[in-house]
Structure 1
Amino acid sequence: MKYAIVDIETTGGYASSHGITEIAIFVHDGEKILERFETLVNPGMEIPYYIQVMTGITNEMVSDAPKFGEVAELVFDKLKDKVFVAHNVNFDYSFLKHHFLETGHEFFAKKLCTVRLTRKVFPNLASYSLGNICRSLQIQIENRHRAGGDAAATVKLFELLLNNNAQPHIEQFLKKTSREQSLPIHLPREQVEQLPGKPGVYYFRDQKGKIIYVGKAKNLRHRVSSHFTHNGSGRQRQEFLRNVYQINFQVCGSELMAAVLEDNEIKKHWPKYNTSQKRLEFQYGLYRFEDRRGYIRLAIERKRKHLQPVYTFGMLWEGYRLLWNMIEKHQLSPELCFVEKNAKTVLPQITVEEPIEYNRKVATALEVFEKELPSFAIMDQGRDEGERSCLLIEKGKFFGMGYIPTDIQIMDLDTLKEFLTPYSDNDYIRGLIYRHAENYPQLRVPLS
């Protein structure tokens, strides 16, 4: 088996927007170096000053160097049919794969990360950065932060690992079923392997233990593993992978409970990488107020901080649909409900009574509306055979969820609520539960 031990220098941290400035490849057969290749590369862009200071590679040095497309064929041949070895392998691999693709080369190789391999062979080091490992293991490193110097140090580290019985770990890492090489560099494999194949919510945490991503899963182990099945070249993807240090999880009784808990946890922790799920709920509300003439008026408006709405909606059209139903059913005045200017159809001609009579109709409409709001529970399987999961809708609003022992028969709403944890109600969660009740009517238990 041959290994290509690689190090690259770049203009930044992610491949899709940054270039390569230097490449070094040492071909190794597991016993000795067979070949060494090293070249500067013109990245086709300015090298940031701080990177020039760190690496010593200046814009002048690369101005006459070949562009990646000019050396791509040669580099491809050096790497072909070899195990791709690097310190934090996914970084170097993602850059080369991206730039190969831009030059028309489809590059795939088995990967071996010396960070993860060193953790197996020397598990108690304080740090696993290349510089700190070399200091801890007394490996001499020269020309630091240049591709040739760092690659040469990685070769010495690789040889030291081989001399300390690393071969069984290498064989395990290179198996097709192994997730080791695809995992974020700082994430222990054991944390992924301990995940159960059950529904639940998982939390990715950074080095300080702060939650940076929350997700839901029908199968926790499969879903978490799917995050790491490819190494995207974008900035956010690479930054995300570098920041994942640990995983925690909560098992849920059902996929629905996991979805509800995920939404609640995202709003509670506001994780950095949950950008698409940071929903702003309850944009609109149905409000009731009395005007100067004494008429009770209904209005759909954006939610107001210090006013309590009769009901809330995520979408404006939902509110107007409800209000129109009330107008038609109870002969309310469209004008007094502020819908005249929003109507796209001919308005009904309704004679408006004196305030006392009209207000009785409004009160009746609101009373009927509140009575028609359903109360029901979704009863499903629990986390084990000794319990059932329960999500409660009370008068049209989400109350909370929890678990009930299977040997307890719930007969009334108040007793049921004693087993549940209250959660914040919002339009998104309501929608999840109502759709679930429609799709699985056998799980819906009406309550009064």
Structure 2
Amino acid sequence: MSKELREYAIVDIETTGGSAERSKITEIAIAIHNGTEVVERWESLVNPQQAIPQAIFSLTGITDEMIATAPAFGELADTVYAFLKDRVFVAHNVNFDYSFIKHQLAEAGLPWQAPKLCTVRLARKIKPGLPSYSLGRLCDMLDIRVQNRHRAGGDVTATVALFDLLLASDSDAVLTQMLRKNAVEQRLPANLSQHIFDNLPVSPGVYYFHDRSGKVIYIGKAINIKKRVAGHFSGHNIQAKRQGFLQEIHDISYERCGTELMALLLECLEINRLWPKYNRALKRLEPKFGLVNYTGMDGYQHLSLTKLLKYQTCIQSFYSLREGAAVLRKMINTMGLDIRFCHFPLEVRMPPTANDLVRRIQDLPDQESYNAKVEAAVALVQEDASSYLIIDKGRDEQEKSCIWIEKGKFYGMGYIRAESQSTSLQEYKNELQRYSGNAYMMQVIESFLAKGVKQHQLIRIDPEQLDEAAVAKPATLHMKLL
């Protein structure tokens, strides 16, 4: 459609809630604009066939009685489709209205899509620097008279007036640029400036979505930050959580990383530090069980497989009781521990073996020697955990990324100078940022290394001395067993 012939369907709807998946339209208004003036207008109440919540009534004034005799959307679908077909869909915060209408037209058997134009984004481009771009505040600041706010007809009238004002002020052909086919800007959240998106890097790293106050509401990691961020804004998702999420995004910041693994670890650390409201997956990935030892009232050292309390320390943590039971059973068998001082939860308690039965009828062992045996068993489990460095690409050619694992636990990470000649453990540690890791991060590291990704070179190091030749040439790093 040429610019001269382009027509715009300026739309506003009222709904029973924020989710096109569960909520329904209660009122719709459409004004057809030819680029100069409104040439046709239509509006109607809609029976949502569900009760109107009190909060919605308080906002719009629409009652159950008002919509009781109104047509259902299915009865209006052909009319709505005819108004929207082959026209640019215009609305204030366009993705909200578009998601509802697209979903309900599809339910009526009328698949539809259209180019979208958001008057929030258009106003930000043509009238930059205003303190707010909500429809009500814009109208106040631009001297646009508004009647019947939060009713579809009143808000469409306000949006038409705003649209006319913006067209008259569009000396740089902003609208034409925004309507270019597949324009990235049309997919961005209404409150996010395009220059923020344009300045995102295409490198690995961690990105942060911020709300209006600057608070971080989501953290993600990416091999290509710009591409991954764009992926958040593509597709057609009708869930309320998705719509609310997009409306809250006002800014994006980022932290570049040398590798995907560094980004994975930083993402986990930052989620644990900031606990953003929209990050849920990583919050559920901490191990729930652990092997602990304690001195009982009888003076003996006991080992117990138990559910971990928050911040509780343990010998070793596990994601399942079965995994922990296997480790404790192995300690009993290999170190000759007494079953009477080893405790399993009922769910993983195994039938006693012949050796277990023999131990149970024997006299108690010498306390001092038995406690020493338990301490030796615990030390053996902990010593089985290795220490090593992972050295890989940095954020540029002047540095390398470095991750330090100490006795099976994440110690820290950071970036070291590419020409670094450090040969001692302490020298490396001094160049790294110390972090408090967790079991999930170790799972990430071990899984990443198990894939055999060639560019990640693993060395297991002697705590006293690094192999200077190996560290100086990370491309030829080799396995060095303790």
Match of 1:397 among 391, 409, 417: 409
Q: Which moved more, 1:159-168 or 1:25-34?
A: 159-168
Match of 1:197 among 184, 191, 202: 202
Q: Deviations over 1:157-186 (max 9, x none)?
A: 212222222672222212234222222211
Q: Partners of 1:187 and 1:241 in 2: how far apart?
A: 9
Structure 1: unaligned runs, 5 residues or longer: none
**What's 1:39 paired with?**
44
Query: How far 1:385 moved relative to its partner?
Result: 0.8
Q: Partners of 2:206 and 2:14 in 1: how far apart?
A: 38
Q: Partners of 2:65 and 2:172 in 1: how far apart?
A: 43
Q: Which moved more, 1:311-320 or 1:399-408?
A: 311-320
Query: How far 1:383 moved relative to its partner?
Result: 0.9
Q: Which moved more, 1:369-378 or 1:314-323?
A: 314-323
Q: What is the TM-score normalised by the length of structure 2? A: 0.87
Q: Which moved more, 1:316-325 or 1:107-116?
A: 316-325
Query: How far 1:280 moved relative to its partner?
Result: 5.9
Once superposed, what is the RMSD of the aligned Cα atoms? 2.2
Query: How far 1:133 moved relative to its partner?
Result: 1.7
Pairwise mapping of residues 429-444 of structure 1 onto structure 2 (< 5 A)?
A: 429-440=441-452, 443-444=457-458
Are 1:145 and 2:158 matched, yes or no? no
Q: Partners of 1:33 and 1:17 in 2: how far apart?
A: 33
Pairwise mapping of residues 44-443 of structure 1 onto structure 2 (< 5 A)?
A: 44-165=49-170, 168-279=173-284, 281-304=286-309, 308-339=313-344, 342-344=348-350, 347=353, 349=355, 352=359, 353-440=365-452, 443=457
Give the AA of the match of 2:406. E
Q: Deviations over 1:76-105 (max 9, x none)?
A: 111011110111111110110111122122
SS in 2 for 1:271: coil
SS in 1 for 2:221: strand
Q: Partners of 2:311 and 2:8 in 1: how far apart?
A: 66
Give the conservation status (yes or no) of the 8 Å contact 1:376–1:394: yes
Q: Partners of 2:381 and 2:372 in 1: how far apart?
A: 14
Structure 2: unaligned runs, 5 residues or longer: 1-5, 360-364, 463-482
Query: How far 1:445 moved relative to its partner?
Result: 1.5
Q: Which moved more, 1:341-350 or 1:163-172?
A: 341-350
**What's 2:7 paired with?**
2
**What's 1:447 paired with?**
461
**What's 1:16 paired with?**
21
Query: How far 1:335 moved relative to its partner?
Result: 3.5
Give the conservation status (yes or no) of the 8 Å contact 1:117–1:166: no
Give the conservation status (yes or no) of the 8 Å contact 1:401–1:422: yes
In 2 relative to 1, CA 83–345 (structure 1 residues): closer, same or farther, beyond 3 Å? same
Q: Which moved more, 1:96-105 or 1:286-295?
A: 286-295
In 2 relative to 1, CA 129–340 (structure 1 residues): closer, same or farther, beyond 3 Å? closer
Q: What is the TM-score normalised by the length of structure 1? A: 0.93
Q: Deviations over 1:307-362 (max 9, x none)?
A: 64223334323322222222222222333222496344662516654334433432
Give the conservation status (yes or no) of the 8 Å contact 1:84–1:112: yes
Q: Partners of 1:355 and 1:119 in 2: how far apart?
A: 76
Query: How far 1:117 moved relative to its partner?
Result: 0.5
Q: Deviations over 1:377-410 (max 9, x none)?
A: 1111111111111111101111011111110023
Q: Which moved more, 1:211-220 or 1:433-442?
A: 433-442
SS in 1 for 2:380: helix
Q: Partners of 1:339 and 1:347 in 2: how far apart?
A: 14
Query: How far 1:154 moved relative to its partner?
Result: 1.5
Give the conservation status (yes or no) of the 8 Å contact 1:286–1:298: yes
Q: Which moved more, 1:336-345 or 1:293-302?
A: 336-345
Q: Partners of 1:60 and 1:290 in 2: how far apart?
A: 71
Q: Partners of 2:136 and 2:368 in 1: how far apart?
A: 83
SS in 2 for 1:300: strand
Give the conservation status (yes or no) of the 8 Å contact 1:199–1:252: yes
Q: Partners of 2:76 and 2:31 in 1: how far apart?
A: 16
Query: Percent identical across equivalent pairs?
Result: 45
Q: Which moved more, 1:203-212 or 1:163-172?
A: 163-172
Query: How far 1:148 moved relative to its partner?
Result: 1.9
Give the AA of the match of 1:276. A
Query: How far 1:425 moved relative to its partner?
Result: 2.3
Q: Partners of 1:359 and 1:138 in 2: how far apart?
A: 83
**What's 1:30 paired with?**
35
Q: Partners of 1:6 and 1:446 in 2: how far apart?
A: 64
Figure out how many residues of one structure are paired with residues of the other and give that number: 448
